[in-house]
Chain A
Amino acid sequence: MSDITVGMVCAADILNKNGQLLIPESTPIEEKHLRLLKAWGFTELPILEKSELGNTLNSVVNLPCNENIERRFRHNTPSLLAVIEMKRILGSCKFLRDKA
């Protein structure tokens, strides 16, 4: 969170645990957002890299998403290296997924 500064752009909708929309995708981060996000207990945020700005891909990464990932992967062997790596990739929220 300490890396997030005013003017950065959200790469995805920021939702709370109940799925309510807190900050819509593509919103430039303002001072008030930083205060609120801290209060809501977020530890990381999906942020668009400069090169990705203007990218038209749909991104619907829900944060905090780790809980969701564990549930979706319940049929997978947790100790498999490929499964661990896939969860890491999805958890990093770098990967922009299609709006299914």
Chain B
Amino acid sequence: MSNSLAVRKLLDETQCLVSPPKVYIKLKAALDDPSTDFDDLAQFISTDVSIAARLLKVANSAMFNFPGQINSIDRALSLIGTQQTADLVLATEVLKSFSAIKSDIFSIEDFSKHSLGCAISSRVLAQYKGEHDIEAHFVNGLLHDTGRLLLFVKYPEVQRMLIETNKSESAPLRTLETQQYGISHDEIGATLFRSWELPKALVECAAHHHTPMSSEHHSFSAAIVHVADWITHSVPMGGNGENFVPALDESAWLSLGIPESALEMIMTEISKQYNSALNLLL
């Protein structure tokens, strides 16, 4: 079976397990429509009360450090900005859907922590590089391993076996996935996001978080997620089934131009934001 067919089949079988982020997709459509005004946007977000509540918690958190209490979606939108708010809506919506998944094989809590650790690390690295849209990097990091989540949910017993092999033979889990399924989690996640019509940068970050320099249009964003994933495994924050720290790609590291001497300071900031986000989002 060719790769694309294998992915298609997997996605068809898992569609019911993972649903597209509806509020985000509606919000994006509204953002792209010039006739939408501010109130419409706030209205869209407010349709899902739990997402609206989580968004307000995030807006009031140490991540933003706004003076005074933000107690309405309107105010969050005007302070954080519409695009960045949309990114945060996507993040909260996806974390909410993760937490609904039940599994005896792996800890969804560990997986969520790994995703959140990579999201925060991407955000801090982007901040260090002086990027403006840091929440987009946050979401890129948050969703990078969604393909693996699909595999856990769809093939729990096979994945359990692969994790055991990974522990004893220490071949990377991604290599074992390719041997087993003819495809690995990165490509599966990217195909899923393409079918949801999520932003291209997100698709490429999922596809290339292990091979950032092969990303056609978004190698910088993919390199950020790659390094963030490496930091998340190194510490470690949570877990995604892989027992070893994935190889750091030298070109990707160099492309970010971060001096090695800054790593400890960056990790201290990540640790601070991660511990505050754990309480907020999980």
The CB with the most chain A CB atoms within 10 A, among B245, B263, B274, is that of B245
Contact, CB under 8 Å: A100 / B110? yes
B264 within 8 A of A: yes
State the total of A-B contacts with C-beta under 8 angstroms. 71
- Closest-CB distance, A56 to chain B (whole angstroms): 9
Q: A77-100: contact bitstring with B at CB < 8 Å (1 yes, 0 no)?
A: 100111111100110001111101
Binds A, one of B60-68, B91-99, B247-255: B247-255
Q: B28-42: contact bitstring with A at CB < 8 Å (1 yes, 0 no)?
A: 000000000000000
Asked if A80 meets B244 with Cβ closer than 8 Å, knowing A96-B271, A98-B237, the reply is: no
- Closest-CB distance, A46 to chain B (whole angstroms): 15
Asked if A72 meets B271 with Cβ closer than 8 Å, knowing A82-B260, A100-B238, A100-B239, the reply is: no
Contact, CB under 8 Å: B253 / A100? no
Q: Which residues of A contact B117 (CB under 8 A)?
A: 98
Q: Which of B113-163 contact A (CB under 8 A)?
A: 113, 117
CA distance A100 to B230 in the complex (A): 15
Q: List 9 A-B pairs, minimum CB-CB distance, nearest first.
A: A85-B260, A75-B247, A97-B235, A81-B260, A98-B237, A100-B239, A82-B253, A85-B263, A89-B264
Q: B240-282: contact bitstring with A at CB < 8 Å (1 yes, 0 no)?
A: 0001111110100100000011011001100100110010000
Asked if A100 meets B236 with Cβ closer than 8 Å, knowing A72-B245, A77-B248, the reply is: yes
Interface size on B, residues (CB 8 A): 31
A76 within 8 A of B: yes
**20 A/B residue pairs, CB under 8 Å, sorted by A:** A57-B275, A71-B244, A72-B234, A74-B244, A75-B172, A75-B246, A75-B247, A76-B247, A77-B247, A80-B250, A82-B260, A85-B260, A85-B263, A86-B231, A94-B264, A97-B236, A98-B235, A98-B237, A100-B237, A100-B238
Contact, CB under 8 Å: B263 / A98? no
CA distance A77 to B244 in the complex (A): 13
Contact, CB under 8 Å: B238 / A98? yes
A73 within 8 A of B: yes
**Taking beta carbons and an 8 Å cutoff, which residues of A are in contact with B?**
57, 71-77, 80-86, 89-90, 94-98, 100
Q: Which residue of B lies closest to A87 (CB)?
A: B234
Q: Which residues of A contact B231 (CB under 8 A)?
A: 86
Given A75-B245, A77-B248, A96-B271: 12 more A-B contacts, CB < 8 Å: A72-B243, A75-B246, A76-B245, A77-B247, A82-B260, A84-B260, A86-B234, A89-B264, A90-B234, A95-B271, A97-B237, A100-B237
Q: Which residue of B lies closest to A98 (CB)?
A: B237
Q: Which residues of B contact A77 (CB under 8 A)?
A: 247-248, 250
Contact, CB under 8 Å: A82 / B235? no
- Closest-CB distance, A90 to chain B (whole angstroms): 6
- Closest-CB distance, A15 to chain B (whole angstroms): 17
